[in-house]
Structure 1
Amino acid sequence: MTVELTLPPFDMPVELSDVDLYDPQTYVLADQHPTWRTMRAKAPVWWQERADATGFWCVTRHADCEKVVKDYRTFSSQEGTILASVGVGDTAGGQTITLTDPPEHAAIRVPSMRALGHAVVQERTPFIRARVTELVEPCDDGEVDFARLMRRLPMVLAGEFMGIPPEHWDDIALWAAACVAPDDPAYALGANPAQTLRLAHHQLFAVFRDLVRHRRAHPGKDLISVLIEITDAMSGRDKPLGEWQVLLNCYSFILGANTTTPNVASHTLLALTQRPELWPRLRDDRGAVEGLVEEGVRWSSPTHHLVRRATADVELGGATIRAGDWVSAWVASANRDEAVFDDPYTFDIDRRPNRHLGFGGGPHYCIGAPMSRLALTLLFEELVRRYAGFELTGPPTHLRSNWINGLVSLPVRQVGRNAPC
């Protein structure tokens, strides 16, 4: 089914007693924007009960979500950043870039940025552009599943910046998707979600173990080589990260790449199939593509939520959050907050400023955001250069996940080739 990201009916508020933002199936069956709009208006900081499991706070207004993701002293990432961690924590806590707070966080982030910096991006842009051009060529032949095609888009980046050989790209993309949404039948690797997650982890870590060992013997300028060189400042020891920490951070980076870029690409193309009048402008005004990418990130909000755990009692949105409570900042809701965005349910490529939280914020602002923007810009520049537009050939299929706003399938076809520019 098509899960629309459009204006919820104002005369149909959602009963809070019916809300369950944990159930992954909820996100397959319906767009949750009516729920989030009701919560912003009536209960901006709301307690989600869970039968026989730990509950959590739901934060839905932009200002409150921004505070949660930026105030790392009060809202810690150390024990987990997604709803699956609520009540149980994350075993990788304190060992990866996503699961550490400053100042330890900087021990991984700062050196890693060397492999993802502006100069490196500029150097590799021609290679990435060539890969993107190659990636979209199947669209020439008629109907294509664009969402499936886009699985490879983050691997174009990861291949260049992490030093992952192309023969691993498709497998890694599939295993990463299975880690993100083990409940979704499209990525089932085992008899149940738990088995799928175990198998996906096993395969990913096996590939990264081989890559790390190769880079130890043959270091380069890629991100894996940088991780190998990082000293273990988190534990106060002047020695390199252990192999397990390097592997965990490789896993963290690859999941980050595979949760944002492909889903923004698919949702943005879906929005354009519903607004074909934008296509000629995008082709004639290349500057408009930049606005398209930013609005695509806001519109799709590829990460539904970001979880933190309170380290102290704090008042937020009229509620008292106690130390130890789990807090979910609903980024997708923040990106439709009427207090921040004019006409938030309108897809507007001219939106300025665009204060979306699609890449998070604060010290955990997505380290891969510049690369994601680059890939998305190159992608849509190539699409509008080659084609006169796209149309749906069947209903999109939404990802079964409470974490990622993804499309498993997006069947489309191009409606005509452009004359060479």
Structure 2
Amino acid sequence: MRMTGPPDDEHADPLSGIDLGDPDRYASGAQHGAWHRLRRDAPLWRQETGDGFPFWSVTRYRDVAAVLMDDKSFSSAHGTILAVAGGDSAGGRTINLMDQPRHADVRLPTMRLMSTHASRQRTGQVRANVRRLVAATFDAGGVVDIARLMLNLPMTAVGETIGLPVEVWDEVPRWAMAGVAPDDPHYADGPAAETLKKAHHRLIAIFSDLIRQKQATPGDDVVSVLLKLDFGGRPMDHREVLLNCYSFAMGAVTTTAHVASHLVLALAERPDVWRDLRENPDLVAGLVEEGLRWASPTNHLLRRVVKPVDVAGTRLEPGELVAAWVASANRDDAVFARPYEFDPRRSPNPHLAFGVGAHRCIGGPPAQVVLGVLIEEMIARLESFEVAGPVTHLRSNFINGITSLPMELRPVPARRPAAIA
């Protein structure tokens, strides 16, 4: 999705023309104007998905945060994205599709592997992984598709933590993205249903092999923890372990990579910010947080009402669906001054890119570490860079992704390869 500000009132779309579910609007344009209009004029908005499921949308920061925080009134077990508004077949069996107390059974034992402390302790290993991914490309310079390169970035942060062998680090991201955007031209392998089937089949095969390996030789990784955790007084069965492996990988791969691409694009479009960053590398931490707010890689999170609750002044009843538009909340001018300005010095920056509450993204700390390491490697290796061709955006109302981002990279002089005499 393109990063734009809202149109002026004279050119604003009428409420009747707003459709938050249409994936084409994210591939070819932006929804920031629609979200701005809804925050102002219709903070609780009702429409239907393309296949006829009615849902409500909340777009203001305070309403989005309230819905995500209230896990007693809103359930995640039905499904968390509009693509499965009719109900997710894995509901109640994976960490992202569980309510309490089962959610805590999975979250608490695995969280120690991805805590802020654990992630910072792994910075040295993450840096070595990131260098293997980007060093040769950055030092050589020339035109590079940054989106393709960044697709593998999440594995440098969490591949070992999940327990995935390096041999599949290149394959998992490709199939994970096909699983969340099966009708995007960049990832489609035949019709959407066929692409989805192939993605599920391949990822399940990878994780089935991994589970067998960890059963024989456990390690200090997510898969090994899942195999031995207490799940409501019993071990997880094989399918539950498999589904949760799938969930952890999908959560990491389909978000962090796109934050990185949007962040690089934002810097390319603002060379003054890049120069400021190179002169003041202490801005890296703030830049990462602003990049997370700016990209908001998860556009929405879906919840199902389980008991009567007031939302934005309206009473909702059990069974109704509510989409909390995180990407809209992160542009709410009631919380963020100049929300359509990219500002690495923004403080405070209480973005909701990782969600909030019991289901706050468990992979947030590793993502912060790897994005910071990436920017530090860019500062060390690149003098400048600029967009070198058309930027292609993901066809998805869920993930705010970039599928192609050609960049002309100019290495710092000391790192340019010597000319051949």
| TM-score over 0.5 for the pair | yes
Corresponding residue for 1:286?
281
Aligned partners of 2:399, 2:4: CA distance in 1, in Å?
14
Tell me which residue corresponds to 2:418. Answer: none
Match of 1:94 in 2: 92
Moved more, 113-122 or 257-266: 113-122
Distance change >3 Å, CA 120–CA 51, structure 1 → 2: closer
1:270 and 1:10 mapped to 2: Cα distance?
A: 28
Q: Deviations over 1:363-397 (max 9, x none)?
A: 00000000000000000010011111210001110
Aligned-partner Cα distance in 1 for 2:22–2:180? 15
Query: Does the CA-based 8 Å contact 2:116-2:366 persist in structure 1?
Result: no
In the alignment, which residue of structure 1 is the partner of 2:178? Answer: 178
* 3-state DSSP of counterpart to 2:10: coil
- 1:70–1:132: structure 2 CA closer, same or farther, 3 Å change rule? same
Tell me the SS of whatever aligns to 2:390. coil
Q: 1:123 to 1:346 in 2, by over 3 A?
A: closer
TM-score, normalised by the number of residues in structure 1: 0.95
2: CA distance between counterparts of 1:243 and 1:407? 34
Taking only the aligned residue pairs, the percentage that are identical comes to 49
Cα 1:81/1:418, change in 2 over 3 Å: farther
CA distance in 2, matches of 1:331, 1:16: 20
Aligned Cα RMSD in Å?
1.5
| Structure 1 Cα separation of the partners of residues 377 and 132 of structure 2 | 10
Cα shift readout 1:21-50 (whole Å, capped 9, x = no counterpart): 111111112111000000111101010134
Q: Distance in 2 between matches of 1:418 and 1:369?
A: 35
Q: 1:16 aligns to what? A: 15
Q: 1:91 to 1:385 in 2, by over 3 A?
A: same
- Alpha-carbon distance, 1:54 to partner: 1.2
CA deviation digits over 1:66-101, x for unaligned, max 9? 011110011110111000121x21111111110111
Aligned to 1:4: 3
Measure the CA separation in 2 of the matches of 1:301 and 1:12.
25
Looking at structure 2, the residues matched to 352 and 121 of structure 1 have their Cα atoms a distance apart, in angstroms, of 23
Kindly report which structure 2 residues correspond to 1:178-217, keeping only aligned pairs within 5 A, or say none.
Answer: 178-189=178-189, 191-217=190-216
Distance 2:327 2:70 in 1: 19
Deviation of 1:287 after TM superposition, in Å, equals 1.7
Q: What is the identity, as a one-letter code, of the residue corresponding to 1:85?
A: V
Structure 2 unpaired stretches of 5+: 416-421
CA–CA distance in structure 2, aligned partners of residues 325 and 394 of structure 1: 44
Which residue identity lines up with residue 40 of structure 1 in the other structure?
R
**Mapping of 1:125-136 within 5 angstroms?**
125-136=123-134
Partners of 1:365 and 1:74 lie apart in 2 by 17
Displacement of 1:3 after TM fit?
2.3
SS of residue in 2 equivalent to 1:252: helix
**1:44 counterpart residue number:** 43
Q: Distance in 1 between matches of 2:51 and 2:209?
A: 41
Shift in Å at residue 121 of structure 1? 2.5
1:5 Cα deviation after fit: 3.0
**CA drift at 1:232:** 2.0
Cα shift at 1:123: 4.0
CA positional deviation for 1:120:
3.5
CA distance in 1, matches of 2:81, 2:302: 5
Structure 1 7/382 Cα, relative in aligned 2: closer, same or farther at 3 Å? farther
Instruction: Give the alignment of 1:289-308 within 5 angstroms.
Output: 289-308=284-303
Identify which range, 407-416 or 196-205, moves more after superposition: 407-416
- Cα displacement (A) at 1:418: 5.0
Select between 67-76 and 133-142 the one with higher mean Cα deviation: 133-142
Q: Is the 8 A contact 2:392 2:404 kept in 1?
A: yes
SS of match in other structure, 1:415 = strand
2:102 aligns to what? 104
**CA distance in 1 between partners of 2:150 and 2:157 (Å):** 12
**Is the contact between residue 124 and residue 160 of structure 1 (CA under 8 Å) also seen in structure 2?**
no
How many angstroms apart in 2 are the aligned matches of 1:360 and 1:5? 22
The aligned length equals 413
Offset from partner CA, 1:291-349 (integer Å, 9 cap, x none): 11000010111111000000122221132322100100011110000111000011011
Whether the 8 Å contact between 2:154 and 2:253 is mirrored in structure 1 is yes
Structure 1 Cα separation of the partners of residues 213 and 49 of structure 2: 45
Cα–Cα, structure 1 residues 18 and 286, in superposed 2: closer, same or farther, change >3 Å?
A: same
Mapped to 2, the partners of 1:114 and 1:343 lie a distance apart of 36
Residue correspondence of structure 1 range 341-380 to structure 2 within 5 A: 341-380=336-375
Matched residue of 1:143: which SS? strand
After superposition, residues 5-404 of structure 1 pair within 5 angstroms as 5-50=4-49, 53-86=52-85, 88-137=86-135, 138-139=137-138, 140-189=140-189, 191-233=190-232, 238-404=233-399
How far residue 193 of structure 1 moved from its aligned partner, in angstroms, is 0.6
CA distance in 1 between partners of 2:118 and 2:28 (Å): 42
CA apart distance, 1:9: 3.0
Asked if structure 2 preserves the Cα contact closer than 8 Å seen for 1:279 and 1:388, the reply is no
Does the CA contact (< 8 Å) of 1:302 and 1:405 recur in 2? yes
Q: Is the 8 A contact 2:141 2:410 kept in 1?
A: no
Give the counterpart letter for 1:114 in structure 2: R
- Partner of 1:14, secondary structure, is coil
Q: Residue type of the partner of 2:38? A: M
Deviations 1:213-237 (A, max 9, x none): 100000010111111111221xxxx
Residue segments in structure 1 that go unaligned for 5+ positions in a row: none
The 8 Å contact of residues 128 and 160 in structure 1, kept in 2 or not, is answered as no
Q: Which amino acid aligns with 1:170?
A: D
